[in-house]
Structure 1
């Protein structure tokens, strides 16, 4: 991607990455076992062996910890999709892989553990900065692929790029947004291929 939104910085305090990572790791395990909503900062402090006050030196709230976990998960999804896209030079194939990759990676990463899904659901519902930045990066990637297709002559050029990108994003959104994807389980096998095929036909010059 040529342009990416800045990564949210929910952490604060001392620049001690080892301690911060230790807190995030412990929080991830704790959330997986007990759930995000039921876990307090005091619970995390006991789990990691630090005082509650010490954790607050690194994170201003439980949400800040959850946001870093969420950001890590979203980066993992992106990395998987980007790796798939990098294997082809054809814009049409990139778009197909984008549809399929985001759907499969989101299903696997965010739905393999219902407790961790709670974090993703809270993030999407409350529009955490990590989610907003993620969606902006997805849209930037989509525009980049569309621009490549227009330059190569594979995609039509009459419709304004922003309008085309916005429409395709709305088609994709139910399959990578965790709140919407949970209602589409019955269609996740076929939908990415069918929808990307429909979109590509509409992009024909």
Structure 2
């Protein structure tokens, strides 16, 4: 897989405006027709720019999709971070993190199915945006677990990195857009039950 490059160099002024205009138009086009069925030529015709002109700003269709994917995943990240910050204890933060992941993925799936499909393609092909998203979740989880250990809320015998890795694997089917679309029917129950299972395993 080739790495997606969201844009060629740093853009400012008129270039920045055109860059954003392409992203906005591409987002609307993908909403209507989907990402995988759309070519750069299709986008050029829809937007009114030449294909060569679009390539001045983006290396590939994937690079355009990468920017849109980042925008989608940022909404999920912001929802998770907001929910975690509201937690009154480390256990509460775990529950809130799990529930926020489920709710944010379900909302994106129902409200913007075609954009959700871009995130699913990104997860399937391991675009950098998905790696960054999952790394943010792991860091957030690691901080929660670390603070829970320091407060005596969680056990300390298991190496922290192992606990983070195992807990993240339990959350992954509800965090990864490629996987979560197959789990939405029982996701809300899973968020409650699996969070409780994780917390029992963390009891000192």
TM-score for the superposition, normalised by structure 1: 0.91
Separation (CA, whole Å) in 1 of partners of 2:43 and 2:165: 40
Shift of 1:117: 2.7
Task: Answer yes or no: is the 8 Å Cα contact 1:91–1:148 preserved in 2.
Answer: yes
Structure 1 runs of 4+ aligned residues shifted over 4 Å read: none
Structure 1 residues 196 and 44, CA gap change in structure 2 (3 angstroms): same
What is the aligned partner in structure 1 of residue 89 from structure 2? 90
What is the aligned partner in structure 2 of residue 190 from structure 1? 189
What is the aligned partner in structure 2 of residue 29 from structure 1? 28
1:85-124 matches, within 5 Å, as 85-124=84-123
Separation (CA, whole Å) in 2 of partners of 1:158 and 1:9: 42
2:49 matches 1:50: yes
What is the aligned partner in structure 2 of residue 167 from structure 1? 166
What is the aligned partner in structure 1 of residue 149 from structure 2? 150
1:62-81 matches, within 5 Å, as 62-81=61-80
Aligned CA-pair RMSD: 1.5
2:176 matches 1:180: no
Separation (CA, whole Å) in 1 of partners of 2:29 and 2:185: 30
Structure 1 stretch displaced more, 129-138 or 10-19: 10-19
Q: Which runs of 5+ in 1 are unaligned?
A: 1-7
2:6 matches 1:10: yes
Shift of 1:10: 2.2
Task: Answer yes or no: is the 8 Å Cα contact 2:72–2:115 preserved in 1.
Answer: no
Q: Secondary structure at the match of 2:165?
A: helix
Structure 1 residues 88 and 9, CA gap change in structure 2 (3 angstroms): farther
Separation (CA, whole Å) in 1 of partners of 2:72 and 2:124: 17
TM-score for the superposition, normalised by structure 2: 0.92
Task: Answer yes or no: is the 8 Å Cα contact 1:14–1:57 preserved in 2.
Answer: no
What is the aligned partner in structure 2 of residue 3 from structure 1? none
Give the length in aligned residue pairs.
Answer: 198
What is the aligned partner in structure 2 of residue 41 from structure 1? 40
Structure 1 residues 9 and 130, CA gap change in structure 2 (3 angstroms): same
Structure 1 stretch displaced more, 104-113 or 33-42: 104-113
1:24-60 deviation per Cα after TM superposition (whole angstroms, max 9, x unaligned) = 1111110110111111111212222222111111110
Q: Which runs of 5+ in 2 are unaligned?
A: none
Structure 1 stretch displaced more, 10-19 or 103-112: 10-19
